[in-house]
Structure 1
Amino acid sequence: MTQNDRDNSFIAEALPAFISEAHEQIERLEQLLLELEDAPDDRDLLDALFRCAHTVKGSAGIFGLDAVVGFTHHVETLLDHVRAGQVALTPALSTLLLQCNDQMRRLIADAQHPEDEDADAQAHRGALVARLQAACAQPAPARAAQAARAEPDSPATGNARWPVAVRFGGDTFRNGMDPLAILNYLRGMGEITALRCDAAAVPALDRLDPEQCHLGFDFVLDTAQPRESIDAAFSFVRDDCTLDIGAPAGACDGPSVTAAPRTAAHDAPADGTPAQDTPAQHPQAPAAASEAARKPQQRKAADAGHGDDQRFIRVQADRLDAVINLLGELVIASAGASLLARQTRQGALVEANDQISQLVEEIRNGTLQLRMVPIGETFSRFRRVVRDTAAELGKDVQLEIVGGETELDKSVVERIADPLMHLVRNGLDHGLETPEERVANGKPAQGRLVLSACHEAGSILIRIADDGRGIRRQKVLERAWERGLVERGTVPSDAEILQLVFAPGFSTAEQVTNLSGRGVGMDVVRRNIEALRGSVEIASDEGRGSRIEIRLPLTLAIIDGFLVGVGSSKFIFPLDAVVEVIENRQAVQALDARGRGIVELRGQALPVTSLRALYGLDSPAPERTSVVVLQAAGRRYGVLVDSLLGQHQTVIKPLGRMFRSLRGMSGSSILGNGEVALIFDVPALSQLAATPALSPVHAPQRATITTPEGQTP
């Protein structure tokens, strides 16, 4: 393999790491722009915004992505003007920067799958560059003068000549860095003149170690960038070089500095250096690429202003999924070993297996925690959606985010993003009124859209609420009559009318727009949420607003379950949904034909349902049954079971096609003895138990109430 082949191989391996980190920086840049609209003079936000663009540009330069470097350079220049107080950050300028951020996102995506860019895309990018340059040419004089007085070493007009001397350490190549890539990056900031290589430091050819770096350079950088930007260019090699940046020679108002005499055999070329606004040609450096792949999160932490003690490692998602799948098999095998150990009745063996089971549980909790991410990262993406959609609809909307720190499985977050997007856009289009309509109805001109999340009984509850017009039930009912969803003249309950919104192809929009009206969306939303073992409900107060509640499991892999038996069948309830257990000494007979009734619990009527009757299990009822009290959506209900088998680590497996039509089931699990147990969907099961029976079922007077852990409350 040639050196060029090795270089290309390193680039190919490191490029995905750069793409991933660059997308994170672009997401961060967008959020900062939206935050700055409320605080345009916040210096910390402005500095963070500049660092994001600078990081993207610098990393792209290492990989020779000239299109990204060239365009981002113009964005960086404008942000530097804003940061220095030379240009005011107006709403129009924020819109321009958000559009430029979208362009950067497309350029980075194209870097992974390069294709020839069409003329329209080039014209669009050229128009954005022209607008960026025009914005830089319109400074705010008073603020520029103030910035100039505050930073005398960084002239507001003209460039400065920065003398730079750098000597790279012997391990620079071994640590994955290429000094020429850094010089080429500096050329993108301005013009390098008087470049001289320290030829005396290079040993004779017979004593030259090709893996050791002997390079040192002295040059003058003619640029408008401040000292911090020059220093940041060497951030990747700070531990492998000695750097001296002298005082600037002043604004460039004359000819360039004449290059000092140098030896051509060792000097890097100074001719043909591109101007400040022209991207340089960057060599593909395998060492630099390796460094970009090795320390992406360290650079991110540094750019965010965090301490050096934070360490990160980036792991591919499929590798983590494979570990969790193996962990599931380990949980099943551990349960089987524990069962066999108890059957042997050997105390030492049982104790050893209990210790192993405890360690497996700790490993399970720690591994699943690796996939838990705050849902606030997903919520924050909707700031841009609300901003742009509200502007398109001519509405004034304030987005509030509550409970963004609530964590759930990353796989759930990824799959819930699209349904949430549709619900947010639907609320903006159908729910919230225009400022004129709101004022006419006695409301504030600005509407409110609230995204909130919290943990509830082992699941996560997501709410999308607005203070808009609400759902007009009569209009929904009339449209249902027209489509034949409800027999004309029939008036269902309010709850049933609201559920019609989720019917396939249902829409109340008067005309088709690019946001709604085609009857595609809400049925897909419900189907996608139910595929995650979740549920969605709608509540609405006409004229005052609507609220959509989504309940999702925290994880799709492994949960703590409560194992019960009905005849020869085994079932599992999510442990977090189990409130308590009522143990009866005789079978309960007074149930209706569908196996539903009411039991009295501490003076309150508790609806119950029999699993034997509900699922048609062909087994005789025992003399002794128990009622497992569950809670879902703020309601409590009971389930009649034959036996209580205790807490069980549950590995969730998908249901086969034959069982997917079963109501109240969300998955299956394999027990330690090889049997299969079905996992209940507690919210769906609560709907089956919600309708009260004709005759109540009373618990015996001497009922024993225990928690799932066996403790009497």
Structure 2
Amino acid sequence: MNIDDVLKIFIAESQELLQQMEDALLQIEQNPHDPDIINAIFRAAHTIKGSAGLFGLDAIVSFTHVAESVLDRIRSGEMAFNDTLTALFLQVCDQLNALIAHVDAGGSLDELEPALQKQGVALTTNLSHYLSGELAVAAAAPQRATQVVRESSDTPNEHWHLSLRFGPDVLRNGMDPLAFLRYLNTFGQIVHIVTLTEHVPAADEMDPETNYLGFEVAFATEADKETIEGAFEFVREDSQIRIFPPNSKTVDYIQLINELPEEDLRLGEMLVRCGALTQSELEKALLKQSEPEASPAPIGEVLINEQNVQPQVVTAALQKQKQVKDNRTAEGNLIRVDANKLDQLINLIGELIIAGAGTQLAAQQSGAAQLVESTGVLSRLVEEVRDSALTLRMVQIGTTFNRFQRVVRDVSKELGKDIVLEISGGDTELDKTVVEKIGDPLTHLIRNSMDHGIEPASVRLERGKPAQGTVRLNAYHESSSIVIEVSDDGGGLNKDRILRKAIERGLVSDNQSLTDKEIFNLIFEPGFSTADQVSSLSGRGVGMDVVKKNITALRGTVDLDSIEGVGTTTRIRLPLTLAIIDGFLIGVGKATYVVPLDMVEECIELTSDQSSAARQSTSDYIDLRGDALPFIRLRELFAVEDEPPRRENVVVVNYAGNRAGLVVDQLMGEFQTVIKPLGKIFDNNRALGGFTILGSGAVALILSVPGMIGAIAQRQAAPSTAMTINS
């Protein structure tokens, strides 16, 4: 794997982390002191900063470092999240997303667009305001006087404990131990110090160039262990320097260990990464462990014996190792796959299905029983491969739903309304291609519900509603379709007002009779709007027609239900996949058509007398076991002029609870259908949803059942006679 491949993984993982960070920020407003949510935000920023450093993305590292410093103060309880701080960190997420997108596009972080660069500077300045107190403390630290207290008791456990044993030759090598103590005060404060004199000889035996003193120091600082150790860089080889963190720091180490990413790390690497151990301490311990005369001992035991790290921290690291190992075992079969490779696989399987259908047809025409049996087995295996491949592209819609938490938060503040988003059915799965394309329509619907649907708080209270409005997102499976509902508890739609606007614009006539659903669906007409004022969100009549157009392009449908004063529900129905379906072949004249098998309820044969009666009837309904079933003749729809057969068939289809009959010439059985899109010339044809290639190489058109049922529903229903079909 080359560096570009690794960079792509970093970009993908960073985008996932930023989404998690944004989700956590949206939750923190409800629970500003929740440690788990705060840690999730900090962990995301920390991981991105560390990974960016591996690729030399210094702009991301420096920007994230400032944000991480503020988050660290929040974690320590020095400050808490509020609306302003949450909004600031949401902008931080947006900035990081923009920087990572810039890297993904192949751009250099040294050549950022002026607007992006300006935004980064502004955010850094705003973040620095939350660090001003900390910076003041750091600036004042060098001016503090050193407090030297000679005590025999133990040093307080709320401070760092430095056990310093300078080597005997330290003075001879030009180093002054007191200079190191003075240097400590440049980034902290010596609170207590005990000077150890047990190695001081009698006065007449003293060597003025030999050091005999040691020190036990209580040290208060915000610096990490590595920084403290760095103060003794020039005497580390000749001296014994031990650094023990305060009790509070021990808790932090354990917490940081628990927050480490799920990676296979050695014990020493984990302790170094969390700051409980420095690299030089680890190297010394490894040398100690490898000494020939030393008995073999685990590195954790060596570190404890050398007093480099506390036992409880080592225990936490060992537990983390076990957790990572267990998780790796559970997730060992999971891999990250490029979405383009999945698309290529589906395309190849589609071609395999078409080729297999041709082979099966050739085998049937040859009359060789063994060959027919063999191709039948092959066909079943191809079908299983198809089903398995399609499940690879199925993803949960919950991730898409959660992104709208940010939309609801921002828009509600812009509108000055208190609105909350409730999500259900997030574990419902559908094809990733559908998920990618449904985001924009859902955004339009949610913003429309918030702007037009949810009333201001004062109006809601007058109507006996809670001041806080609610927008709901729900998803569930229905047959082989997915249904997505966007609902609100707002004022609902005013039918009379919609109808009045439609008549003004000439969309309907004065004397035209429309059902409630037909009136509601008028808002999907291009340019239709009932808004009295144009706002930044709505009022121009642009949006709802785009919603319908985008959903129709996905072979889906959208409709509205509304009760005035109670609320509105927009219901979207989409196919689970856009690639391959089980179809049912029918023949009309010399042409072959495909109906999605999951929409077929039953097939009924018409006798010659019944067919003749149906053709002569002025009714568009037939009597199916006591129920009136609307039907449509495909011969008439597609203007087939040749003589109809003596016997015809009715294919009963059902979509979204609406049933209809398709009168056809022949029933030709099931067929694995690879959906291919039609050209733009067919965009306005509601009866067709695509085409497929048969085993013979002929083309078969795929019928759009939703479009046909919609066309039937629009016809004026005035049955005068009905014909009974016996099943």
What is the TM-score of this pair, normalised by structure 1?
0.75
Structure-2 residue corresponding to 1:474: 496
Q: Residue in 2 aligned with 1:290? A: none
Correspondence for 1:678: 701
CA 1:220/1:315 → structure 2, altered by over 3 Å: closer, same or farther?
Answer: farther
CA contact (8 A) 1:191 1:221 kept: no
Deviations 1:543-573 (A, max 9, x none): 2211111111111110111111112111111
Report what 1:284 is aligned to.
none
Q: Which has the higher helix share?
A: 2
Contact 1:470 1:542 survives alignment (8 Å): yes
Change (3 A) 1:237 1:465: closer
Paired position in structure 2 for 1:428: 450
- The Cα offsets for residues 178-223 of structure 1, whole Å up to 9 and x where unpaired, read as xxxxxxxx99996761569999xxxxxxxxxxxxxxxxxx998999
Moved more, 94-103 or 372-381: 94-103
Name the SS of the counterpart of 1:589 in structure 2. helix
Deviation per residue, 1:475-512 (Å, 9 max, x gap): 33343344444457877554343232122222222222
1:628 aligns with 2:630: no
Give per-residue Cα distances to partners, 1:324-361, cap 9 Å, x unaligned. 11110100011111111122222221111111111111
Worse-superposed segment, 474-483 or 452-461 = 474-483
> 1:150 — aligned with what?
none
Contact conserved, 2:346 with 2:389, CA < 8 A, in 1? Answer: yes
Q: More deviation in 500-509 or 367-376? A: 500-509
- Which of residues 233, 238, 262 in structure 1 aligns to 2:265? 238
Q: Establish whether residue 35 from structure 1 lines up as the match of residue 27 from structure 2.
A: yes
Q: 1:132 to 1:409 in 2, by over 3 A?
A: farther
- Please say which of residues 304-313 and 367-376 is displaced more in the overlay: 304-313
Is the aligned partner of 1:665 residue 2:665? no
CA–CA separation in structure 2 for the residues paired with 1:401 and 1:248: 40
2 CA distance for matches of 1:494 and 1:520? Answer: 23
CA distances 1:54-112 after superposition (whole Å, capped 9, x unpaired): 22121111111122222222333333443444433334433332222222222222333
What corresponds to 1:608 in structure 2?
631
Distance in 1, Cα, partners of 2:159 & 2:637:
82
Counterpart residue number, 2:719: 694
SS at match of 2:592: strand
What pairs with 1:222-621 in structure 2 (closer than 5 Å)? 226-228=252-254, 238-239=265-266, 306=327, 308-311=329-332, 312-486=334-508, 492-586=514-608, 587-591=610-614, 597-621=620-644
Greater mean deviation of Cα atoms: 236-245 or 340-349: 236-245
1:65 lines up with 2:65 in the alignment: no
Contact residue 162 and residue 245 of structure 1 kept, 8 A: no
Q: Secondary structure at the match of 1:385?
A: helix
2:497 maps to amino acid: K
Shift of 1:583: 2.3
Would you say the 8 A contact 1:52–1:303 is kept in 2?
Answer: no
Is the 8 Å Cα contact of residues 191 and 222 (structure 1) preserved in structure 2?
no
Q: Does 1:116 align with 2:142?
A: no
Q: Deviations over 1:146-176 (max 9, x none)?
A: xxxxxxxxx999878899xxxxxxxxxxxxx
Q: Which amino acid in 2 is paired with 1:238?
A: L
The AA in structure 2 aligned to 1:418 is D
| Equivalent residues of 2:162, 2:242 under 8 A apart | no
Deviations 1:276-327 (A, max 9, x none): xxxxxxxxxxxxxxxxxxxxxxx9xx99995542033222222221111111
What is the number of residues matched between the two proteins? 593
Does residue 26 (structure 1) correspond to residue 53 (structure 2)? The answer is no
| Structure 1 position 128, deviation (Å) | 3.0
8 Å Cα contact 1:669-1:676 kept in structure 2: yes
Q: Residue 617 of structure 2 contacts residue 721 of structure 2 at CA under 8 Å; is this kept in 1?
A: no
Q: Which has the higher contact order (CA 8 A, sep 6+)?
A: 1
Residues of 2 paired with 1:190 and 1:73: CA distance? 17
The answer (yes or no) to whether the contact 1:78–1:135 under 8 Å persists in 2 is no
Asked if the contact 2:454–2:469 (Cα under 8 Å) also holds between the matched residues in 1, the reply is: yes
User: Unaligned regions of 5+ residues in structure 1, if any?
Assistant: 1-8, 139-154, 164-185, 200-217, 251-256, 263-298, 704-713
1:90 to 2:82 alignment? yes
Gaps of 5+ in 2: 137-155, 165-222, 284-319
Query: Which residue type is aligned with residue 551 of structure 2?
Result: I
Q: Provide the rounded CA distance (Å) in 2 between the counterparts of 1:156 and 1:55.
A: 30
Question: Structure 2 vs 1, CA of residues 158 and 96 (structure 1 numbering), >3 Å: closer, same or farther?
Answer: farther
Contact 1:161 1:249 in 2 (8 A): no
- Among residues 126, 129, 134, which one is paired with 2:127 in the alignment? 129
CA 1:137–1:456 in 2, change beyond 3 Å: closer, same or farther? farther
> What SS does the corresponding residue of 1:451 show, helix, strand or coil?
strand
2:578 counterpart SS class: coil
**Which amino acid counterpart does residue 480 of structure 1 have in structure 2?**
A
Q: Distance in 1 between matches of 2:503 and 2:261?
A: 70
Question: Counterpart of 1:652?
Answer: 675
Tell me, in whole angstroms, the C-alpha distance in 2 between the residues paired with 1:516 and 1:156.
61
Name the aligned partner's letter for residue 99 of structure 1.
Q
Query: Any idea what the Cα deviations from partners look like across 1:495-531, whole Å, max 9, x if unmatched?
Result: 3432321222222222222211222211111111111
Higher gyration radius (CA): 2
CA distance in 1, matches of 2:50, 2:269: 20
**TM-aligned CA deviation for residue 241 of structure 1:** 6.8
Q: 1:229 to 1:681 in 2, by over 3 A?
A: same
Q: CA deviation at 1:249?
A: 9.8
How large is the Cα RMSD of the aligned pairs? 3.9
2:672 alignment partner, SS class:
strand
8 Å Cα contact 1:469-1:542 kept in structure 2: yes
Percent of aligned positions that are identical: 43
